[in-house]
């Protein structure tokens, strides 16, 4: 758990108990130093946390459990907000924007994902141009200074990937892509905490970018990371895309065994979800990209597999 996240939660409890910051920090730490903790300028020592929680009338261990539970719940809410944005659930979005206008987020990364999603909503609803959204996203992550950091969170990586616009600035997009690739290859450079959804969205964006540049090995690498991320969390977020992109990359590389395997897995995921509109959309993509009939392809795949098993036996 990050120091700033802990301080933000302490601040919420302090406010809920109608304690002034002066009385809350009295005989514990200076008000100026407490505000440094809140702003993330300094790490708060455990003994300070212990003394502050005592003033709130709670045990430190219980506080830490409360914070983690609140952070996870908040993350789910922000993930749902993003889903509402991309699914154009405008009535739900507008009510949440009003509700969260002055919200004190437990986790700064959840706040970042929310603000990124809000920029996306403003683009979709034509309240903001795509160019203005890129400028705002740059401000959110303090770009280009962020490129000098040794460690990034999954949400920071997502927002950074949203800046890539190869049409307007191919050089900048290539630099960001290479930077993100370097972070992904070095596990010590990426914080494991944060939204799995944000991580998968970033991988999806990098896979698309690499595919457009005909860098098929990187497409496969990013999709495999997404598949592993989902598998470890028992999720299916963007799993259909990861298998579809993998199949397309293997197809372009002439590796038909892997192309067949990933395309069949894509079919199973689509069938499991049972979303008719999505199945129709993917079927059109796949029929056009591979010059096949998707359902017939899957039937023939299993028929050929059965024949191979029978001949081997």
Q: What are the tens digits of pLDDT across the range 105-124? A: 888 889 999 999 999 999 99
The whole-angstrom separation of Cα 26 and Cα 24 is 6
**DSSP characters over 75-133:** HHHHHHHHHHHHTT-HHHHHHHHHHTTT---SSHHHHHHHHHHHHHHHHHTTSS-HHHH
Distance of CA 6 to the CA centre of its chain: 22
pLDDT, position 85: 93
Enter the tokens of residue 264: 């069949």
Q: Are 249 and 220 in contact (CB under 8 A)?
A: yes
Residue 68 pLDDT level (bands cut at 50, 70, 90):
confident
Instruction: Reply yes or no on whether the pLDDT at 188 is more than 70.
Output: no
Residues 1-58, CATH architecture: Orthogonal Bundle (1.10)
Neighbours of 237 (CB within 10 A): 19
| Distances from the Cα of 88 to the Cα of 83, 109, 112, 120, 290, angstroms | 8, 23, 20, 11, 30
- Residue 186, φ and ψ in degrees, nearest 5: -110, 100
Please tell me the predicted confidence (pLDDT) of residue 189. Answer: 57
Q: Measure the CA–CA gap between 297 and 148, rounded to whole angstroms.
A: 48
Backbone angles phi, psi at 28, to 5 degrees: -120, -55
pTM of the model: 0.78
Indicate whether 276 pLDDT > 70. Answer: yes
Cα-flanking dihedrals φ and ψ of residue 166, to 5°?
-60, -20
List pLDDT tens digits, range 199-226.
999 999 999 999 999 999 999 999 999 9
Q: CA angle 114-119-125, nearest 5°? A: 120
> What is the 3-class SS of 29-51, one letter each residue?
CCHHHHHHHHCCCCCCCHHHHHH
How many angstroms separate the CA atoms of 96 and 78, rounded? Answer: 10
Residue 289 has pLDDT above 90, yes or no: yes
């Amino acid at each position: 758990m990050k120091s700033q996240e802990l301080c933000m939660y302490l601040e919420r409890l302090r406010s809920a108990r109608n304690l002034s910051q002066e009385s809350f920090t009295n005989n514990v730490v200076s008000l100026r130093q407490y505000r440094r903790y809140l702003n993330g300028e300094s790490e708060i020592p455990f003994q300070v946390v212990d003394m502050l929680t005592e003033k709130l009338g709670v045990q430190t261990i219980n506080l830490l459990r409360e914070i983690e539970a609140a952070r996870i719940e908040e993350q789910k809410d922000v993930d749902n907000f993003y889903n509402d944005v991309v699914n154009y659930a405008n009535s739900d979005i507008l009510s949440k924007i009003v509700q969260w206008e002055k919200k004190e987020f437990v986790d700064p990364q959840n706040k970042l994902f929310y603000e990124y999603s809000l920029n996306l909503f403003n683009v979709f609803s034509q309240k903001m141009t795509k160019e203005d959204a890129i400028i705002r996203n740059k401000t959110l992550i303090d770009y280009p200074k962020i490129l000098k950091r040794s460690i990034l969170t999954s949400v920071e990586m997502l927002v950074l990937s949203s800046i890539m616009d190869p049409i307007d600035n191919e050089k900048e997009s290539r630099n960001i892509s290479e930077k993100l690739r370097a972070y992904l290859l070095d596990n010590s450079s990426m914080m494991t905490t944060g939204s799995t959804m944000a991580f998968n969205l970033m991988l999806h964006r990098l896979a698309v970018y690499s595919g457009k540049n005909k860098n098929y090995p990187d497409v496969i690498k990013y999709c495999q990371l997404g598949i592993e991320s989902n598998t470890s969390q028992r999720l299916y977020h963007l799993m259909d895309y990861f298998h579809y992109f993998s199949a397309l990359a293997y197809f372009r590389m002439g590796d038909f065994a892997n192309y067949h395997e990933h395309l069949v897995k894509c079919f199973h995921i689509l069938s499991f979800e049972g979303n008719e509109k999505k199945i129709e959309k993917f079927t059109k993509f796949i029929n056009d990209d591979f010059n096949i009939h998707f359902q017939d392809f899957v039937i023939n795949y299993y028929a050929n597999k059965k024949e191979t098993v029978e001949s081997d036996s």
